[in-house]
Amino acid sequence: MPSLKILQSITHKKLISVSISNKKTVQNVYFATMQFKDIAGQLSVKKHLIHTVTQNRVSHAQLFLGPEGSGSLALAIAYAQYICCTHKLPDDACGQCASCNKYQKLIHPDLHFSFPFFAKDKDDVASNYIADWRHAIIKNHYLGLDAWRYHLNVDNKQFNINIAESHHIISRLSLKPFEAEFKIMIMWLPEYLVSAGNALLKIIEEPADKTLFLLVAQNQDQLLNTIISRTQIVKIPKLSDTDVVNFLTIQKNIATNKAQQIAYLSNGNLHTAQEYMAHEENNYCETFITWMRYCVQNRGIEMINYVDELAKMGRENQKNFFKYGINLMREAVLCLSDMPALVHLPEKELDFISKFAKILTLAKAQSIATEFEKAHYHIERNANPKILFLDVSLMLIKLLKFNTFPAGTQHILI
Ligand SMILES: [Zn+2]
């Protein structure tokens, strides 16, 4: 039987799945370390959070505000684990005490989660989906909402944190802590509380003794002001390319040059970075260049055949592909704005963009990016991919009309 320490070292690279047989099914129990040391970058945030604990200044309601893929949810969990750890180290939880052991499986009885979900009826609550939630978070600490929807297999359903869930939170937090000094509620994406949020205001403002509320949000503008005013904000910045590269090379064993490419294209979002990694076999660069070539040269039949191929990519892949295209257009804008020094794309993409930019104008590059953003939105909402790709292709042909190219550049992509 390997020791806990060895198990923990393995979990840096991959999840360990332990099968436990029960009467009818085999259930997978997942472990993953989610201590501060496992979370990419964010050194000053970690330092601040540890300081609040060592100085005994843990605010009872905190709002972790950071973009998708910044690690804000993982930081909230690591913070909660640190607070409850019985053998705290100066800069992290011990990872070995009984409390840490339960935290690593996200099954500590004083750790509560709330998150957006699709309510099957008015009494449905988040804890009905807690097994899926644990699985999704342990699999990917940088989970995004799209991936959560995908995980629950409810792509285009309305997600929210409903009134039943608000009442359920209140009743759960009215209990005394079972084991730890604090009971901690981590609410992911309180933006989805909408009107139901008001039921929670009192408990956020005047929580029961030894109760902590950690809200993890992405968009301050979409939060209820009454919630913002009752919480202490912890700002989590977007990760730097260096942080992403370090994470991918050290924790995911990715080669440095590949990690640099992924880091750049994912724009500080570790969720997107891992999506790129998962779909590495899909060569977005090659696919994108081929597609653009057919559109630029207005090769109708080949373009229609190619649309059939693009439509088979699968929804998540298609969304990533459009995100990839948006990033490339951002580079084209930099090229066209005489800021080539800012362009630090991988070699193949750089070669393509420097050629492609010659047949674009600033307005055209921006219009194409807008078309890709719209396409991403529609794919997310279950649009028919074949119709969508055809539609975008026709729009691109229109935007990239031959007669508006600078003289002598029509052949540039041939
Ligand atoms: Zn511990």
For residue 72, the CA-to-ligand 1 centroid distance in Å is 21
Q: What pLDDT, on a 0 to 100 scale, did the predictor assign at position 43?
A: 93
Per-residue pLDDT, 22: 34
Which residues face 64 on adjacent strands? 216, 234
Distance, CA of 127 to CA of 140 (rounded, Å): 19
d(CA 223, CA 130): 24
- In the numeric block, which tokens belong to residue 282? 């899909």
Distance CA 279, CA 296 (A): 26
Which pLDDT value is given to residue 182?
A: 87
Give the distance (Å) from ligand 1 centre to CA of residue 104. Answer: 10
Instruction: Report if residue 267 sits inside a domain.
Output: no
Residue 270 lies in a domain: no
Both 323 and 229 in one domain: the answer is no
Residues 316, 233 within the same domain: no
Is the domain of 233 the same as that of 285? no
Domains in the chain, number: 2
Q: Is residue 88 part of a domain?
A: yes
Same domain as 283, residue 218? no
The answer to whether 312 and 348 have CB atoms below 8 angstroms apart is no
Q: What stretches of 251-292 adopt beta strand conformation (E)? A: none
What is the predicted pLDDT for the residue at 257? 77
What is the per-residue pLDDT for 414?
Answer: 34
The predicted pLDDT at position 45 comes to 96
Average pLDDT over residues 113-135: 90
pTM summary value: 0.72
Domain final residue, candidates 174, 207, 238:
238
Distance, CA 184 to ligand 1 centroid (Å)? 16
Of 238, 271, 290, the domain-final residue: 238
CA of 236 to the centre of ligand 1 (A): 24
Of 264, 376, 366, the closest CA to residue 316 belongs to: 376
Tell me the CATH number at 364: 1.20.272.10
CA of 168 to the centre of ligand 1 (A): 29
- Please report, for the domain that includes residue 33, its CATH number: 3.40.50.300
pLDDT tens, residue by residue, 295-337: 888 888 888 889 988 888 878 788 888 988 998 888 888 888 8
Domain of residue 188, residue span: 4-238
CA 247–ligand 1 middle distance (angstroms): 23
Evaluated on CA atoms 133, 136, 141, 142, the torsion sign reads negative
Does residue 402 have a pLDDT over 90?
no
Q: Is residue 262 part of a domain?
A: no
Cβ 81 vs Cβ 35: under 8 Å: yes
- Residues 226, 357: one domain? no
Q: What spacing in Å lies between the alpha carbon of 87 and ligand 1's midpoint?
A: 5
- Rounded distance from Cα 243 to ligand 1 centre (Å): 26
What is the whole-number distance in angstroms between the Cα of residue 107 and the centre of ligand 1? 14
Instruction: Render pLDDT for 358-371 as a digit per residue (tens, 0 to 9).
Output: 888 888 888 899 99
Single-letter code of the amino acid located at 11:
T
Distances (CA, A) of 46 to 84, 247, 269: 16, 16, 18
Indicate if the pLDDT at residue 220 is higher than 70.
Answer: yes
What separation in Å is there between the alpha carbon of 44 and the centre of ligand 1?
22
Question: For 238-251, how does the pLDDT look when each residue is reduced to its tens digit (9 = 90+)?
Answer: 999 999 999 888 88
Q: Would you say residue 101 lies in a domain?
A: yes
pLDDT at 11 over 70: no
Indicate the burial class of 255 (C-beta count within 10 angstroms; 0-12, 13-18, 19 or more): exposed
